[in-house]
Structure 1
Amino acid sequence: MFKNLKWKKLLIFAFLGMAAGYAYYYFIGCAGNSCPITSNPYLMTGYGLGAGLVLGWDNKKTKKDDKEENK
């Protein structure tokens, strides 16, 4: 049951990151083509997705993982 919660959390963070990346492009990004990253909605959405995945990734070890490493 808790494994599904891990993936749901990751998907929520990924979606929020994508939304934040697109919002950055829409509200703050360059109007012209002088900024190659922020003037492209696809790149900014991708960067937001990456940031959301990094922030949402659960890097905690469980007791089961610790027991397997000590063997």
Structure 2
Amino acid sequence: MTFNDWVDDVGGIKPAADLLGEKPRSVRSWYHAERAPRQRSAKNIIEKSGYRVDWSGIYQPIETARVKAEAPA
């Protein structure tokens, strides 16, 4: 499961932020692939999601977005 799928499952950015103990602004930036969570936050995501989200579910969508943004038009 991807991080975004998990956020959607728990009801959106604010509920996910509350569950994670993070600021909604941080969760929003991860959700929109504007930046990646630090490893400590990623580990927290994995644990709080009940291990439904894994490392690749967090970082692969962000890398995919980065590659698309850098691709020539």
Asked if these proteins are the same fold (TM beyond 0.5), I'd say no
From the CA coordinates, give the structure whose radius of gyration is larger: 1
TM-score, scaled to structure 2: 0.34
